[in-house]
Structure 1
Amino acid sequence: MRKRTPTVVLAPDSFKGSLSAVDVAAAMAAGVRVALGADVRVALGADVRIVQCPLADGGEGTLQTFLSAGNAEPRVIHAHDALGRERTARYGLSNDGRVAIIEAAEANGLPHVADVPPAPLRADTFGVGEIAVSALEDGVDEILLCIGGSATTDGGTGMLRALGVRFLDADGRDVAPGGAGLGDIAAVDESQLHPRARSVRWRVATDVDNPLCGENGAAAVFGPQKGATADQVRQLDSGLKQLAIALRTAYGADVLTLRGAGAAGGMAACLSAILGAELVPGSDLVSETVGLRSLCADADLVITGEGAFDAQSLQGKVVQGVVRQTPPECPVVVIAGTVRLSAAEIRAARISAAFSIARGPAELHELLDNTAELLREATAQVVGLIDSQWSRPASTPTHSRATADCPS
């Protein structure tokens, strides 16, 4: 029999609208125990080693992933939401005090303004800047800014205003905040920029690679999700183009060609041009910070998942990141609310298999109401199959991402 205890790594994203990544990993772990039976023996590690590693892609839930992994301690401050209303917001401070982890959605997240009619031209990122100011005054050397899940399309101007930057019209007056004022920007005044803003390293975790403007840009793709009408989308897109012109004039930066500049309503545009921020895929940033590669190095099975497994999952999202961090000989299995890729597409992505949690035809609310139970059962089915290979003699081939042997 195998001498080494098999290791299962559970590295899912959240199931948005249902469970956090932490809860998804816990449900999967319960499924592993169901498959192997004898909970006590599993807890003692006699049958399998279970590693829970909840992940995120730079959107909502990313901060909690860092906190749950023990990489940071939470800080709570008073800030403002996307419509200027007071709220409390969290950010993380690394255990050594050198790095701040900011989830922009803690301030400008769409759920925080869901109680009022959408205001896509008014919403801004000022509250995110308030969190950043607090982090700078903590004396950090680096800020990791996770920008997904926003209610804003202001190009990041609100955040930079909180840091002391002024955006001026042709007459030298401050433009209106939010997306409404973007089209009037003629100049940028950074004379009152926070004194530490350029002394820290900025890394911006993005969960999409959309450009700032155009048919795939911030306004066109994400504006309607934030309540923008067709006319407002055109106004916002035009305003973002004007912002890009002002940034190019002031800093020589061409944010129109910057990949990912359209994330979070164009927030990366100002951060990149004014502060020299580095844009990185959120899934890679999280995976690197929690040490996913080392966790997967000796894994016998890696299970990941998300609410919808589709083409976007293979474009910088958590699933693709997990595959990159896992040795080729280890099978990676996806468990999702829905699976929208063919078997050929799944294999081409170096994924062994993908399964939906749905047991049959079901309404969305049925899946949302029972996600934890369905995840547990789906995981148990997957592990039940793999376990039959773990129990074979060590000399027998076990598994490959390219081929799968039938149990003997």
Structure 2
Amino acid sequence: MVHTVVVAPDSFKGTIGAAPAATALGAGWNRVRPHDAIRLVPMADGGEGTLDAFETAVAGSRRMPVRVTGPHGRTIDATWLLLPPTAADPDGIGVVELASTSGIELLGTPPKLRAMDADTTGFGQAIAAALAYGVSRLVLGIGSSASTDGGLGALTALGARFTDASGTPVVPGGRGLAHVAVADLSGLPALPAGGVSVLTDVTNPLVGAWGAAAVFGPQKGASNAEVLALDAALARLGDLLPADPETPGAGAAGGTGFGLLAWGATLVPGSAAVAELVGLDAAVGAASVVITGEGSYDGQSAAGKVPARVGAIAAETGVPVALVAGRIAPDVELTSFAATASLTDLAGSGAAAMTDPARWLTEAGAALASALG
């Protein structure tokens, strides 16, 4: 029997993106079962690899080059993605990724963190480019942020103006955020006809113990004192902008979620929105086997992460689904999966798996083909 296999993993964060991960898994499956049809539908939740996932899954997508100011303050070459026109979006959908314009990965390896000075200007510049092109709708992925600026950089690039008590524009980043006295949003462009959807996989509010500064600031290099200063600055911003700081996801990307809410955007669960846009339901409905995965499958994975989303869609149509992960926690429930593969187990150690993830993903694909074919 010839199978149609849908391969729909998330990125294996820090090691390999969703698109190359899907390619490796498909190659491994075809090594064992060369006559099966493989359909690659890499997934994302708004973080790194979102553009790659859409480009692989949506035929006719086009990379649109743009030069932007990166989180280090230097000009970089980036792209946004134009999805082809549809009846609902006759001028196409623009997909813009914060990770590739203002993301922490752009600060080097290991990153030279700039907790108080990195900002989201480049992200806003790429959004402005997509708007200038004339897209019908915007989809914005805001994972992998390098900054805690409340989205000031992005909003400023779009036409907003933030000034201190003397009327002087504030400097970029969290350092400038602390001095904002007046927020003038009158220069912001109108939303495109189809609106703006912001993809996020976190539900943190803007401020407080679970807010942007407290939870994510240390990951971006903020000291304890800087976390307190950034939280206070975000709280003041929460009083200035027309959005609810308690909205789930307002604290995403250093408060960029909140800034985009003030523009009129809508925050949505990333994996669900990506699934809809890439046609995952239809792909799974036509499949006989589905493979999904992520870097670490643990207790949090069931709360809206990609494997949970893919698994739920497969369950609705009775299609068996297999899980691949770099690491599978020993205490998680796996009965919903027809088969599983751990790269750590295949490679002998987590370090070995991370050193050559494409190799071990290929081996995982082959192992699953043997188990399920």
TM-score, normalising length: structure 2: 0.91
Residue 173 of structure 1 is aligned with which of 168, 172, 182? 168
1:281 is aligned, of 269, 286, 292, to 269
User: Displacement, 1:100?
Assistant: 0.8
Please, which of 279, 295, 298 is the counterpart of residue 291 of structure 1?
279
Match of 2:70 among 81, 88, 92: 81
Corresponding residue of 2:203: 209
CA 1:51–1:207 in structure 2 vs 1: closer, same or farther (change >3 Å)?
A: same
Of the three residues 120, 129, 134, the one matched with 1:134 is 129
Structure number with greater Rg is 1
Change beyond 3 A, Cα 1:241–1:362: farther
1:150 to 2:145 alignment: yes
The aligned amino acid for 2:53 is T
Partner of 1:26: 23
- CA-CA distance at 1:19 after TM superposition: 2.0
What's the counterpart of residue 45 of structure 1? none
Cα distance in 1 between the residues matched to 2:48 and 2:180: 30
Q: Measure how far apart 1:145 and its partner are.
A: 0.6
SS at 1:184's partner residue?
Answer: coil
**Partner residue in 1 for 2:4:** 7
CA contact (8 A) 2:347 2:353 kept: no
CA change 1:378–1:124 in 2 (3 A) is same
Alignment CA distance shift 1:80-1:136 (3 Å): same
Other structure's SS at 2:139 match = strand
Q: Does 1:304 align with 2:304?
A: no
Structure 2 residue aligned with 1:375: 361
8 Å contact from structure 2 (residues 344, 350) kept in 1: no
Q: Does the aligned pair in 2 maintain the 1:153–1:223 contact within 8 Å? A: yes
> 1:244 and 1:198, CA in 2 relative to 1: closer, same or farther beyond 3 A?
farther
Q: Does 1:159 align with 2:154?
A: yes
Pairs within 5 Å for 1:264-279: 264-273=253-262, 275-279=263-267
TM-superposition CA deviations, 1:160-180 (whole Å, max 9, x none): 011111123344332332112
Structure 2: distance between partners of 1:105 and 1:59: 6
- Summarize the Cα distance change of 1:6–1:261 in structure 2 as closer, same or farther, 3 Å threshold: same
CA positional deviation for 1:308: 0.9
Q: State how 1:173-192 maps to structure 2 within 5 Å.
A: 173-192=168-187
Which residue identity lines up with residue 122 of structure 2 in the other structure?
Answer: G
Tell me the amino acid that sits aligned with residue 128 of structure 1: F
Deviations 1:138-190 (A, max 9, x none): 11121111111110111101100111111233443323321122233233112
| Alpha-carbon separation, structure 1, partners of 2:182 and 2:194 | 24
State the shift of 1:130 in Å: 0.8
For residue 315 of structure 2, give the secondary structure of its aligned residue in structure 1: coil
Whichever residue aligns with residue 93 of structure 2, its letter is: V
1:332–1:351 Cα contact (<8 Å) kept: yes
Preserved contact between residue 293 and residue 307 of structure 2 (Cα < 8 Å)? yes
> Which whole-Å CA distance do the structure 1 matches of 2:12 and 2:202 have between them?
17
Residues 356-371 of structure 1: pairs in structure 2 closer than 5 A: 356-359=342-345, 362-371=348-357
Letter in structure 2 aligned against 1:33: N
1:298 CA drift (Å): 3.2
Query: Alpha carbons of 1:65 and 1:265: their partners in 2 closer, same or farther (altered >3 Å)?
Result: same
Shift of 1:216: 1.9
Q: In structure 2, what is the Cα distance between the partners aligned to 1:341 and 1:297? A: 31
Counterpart of 1:330 in structure 2 is 319
Residue correspondences, number: 365
Q: Match for residue 405 of structure 1?
A: none
Name the CA distance, whole Å, in 2 between partners of 1:298 and 1:61: 25
Residue by residue, what CA displacement relative to the aligned partner does 1:275-331 show, whole Å, maximum 9, x if unpaired?
211111111121111101001113222110111112232222211221232234222
| SS of residue paired to 1:265 | helix
- The residue that corresponds to 2:94 in the other structure is 100
Match in the other structure for 1:351: 337
Deviation at residue 197 of structure 1 after TM alignment: 4.4
Query: For 1:162 and 1:319, how far apart are their aligned partners in 2?
Result: 35
Q: Which runs of 5+ in 2 are unaligned?
A: 86-90
Query: What is the letter of the counterpart of residue 175 of structure 2?
Result: A
For residues 290 and 198 of structure 1, do their structure 2 counterparts lie closer, same or farther at Cα, with a shift above 3 Å needed? closer
Runs of 5+ unmatched residues, structure 1: 43-47, 388-408
TM-score (norm 1): 0.84
Q: Aligned residues: percent identity? A: 40
Over 3 Å counting, the alpha-carbon distance change for 1:381 and 1:363 in structure 2 is closer
Cα distance in 1 between the residues matched to 2:349 and 2:343: 12
* 1:46-125 pair list within 5 angstroms: 48-69=36-57, 70-96=59-85, 97-114=91-108, 117-125=112-120
CA contact (8 A) 1:208 1:316 kept: no
3-state SS, counterpart of residue 326 of structure 1? helix
- From 385, 388, 403, the counterpart of 2:371: 385
Distance of 2:38 and 2:44 partners within structure 1: 19
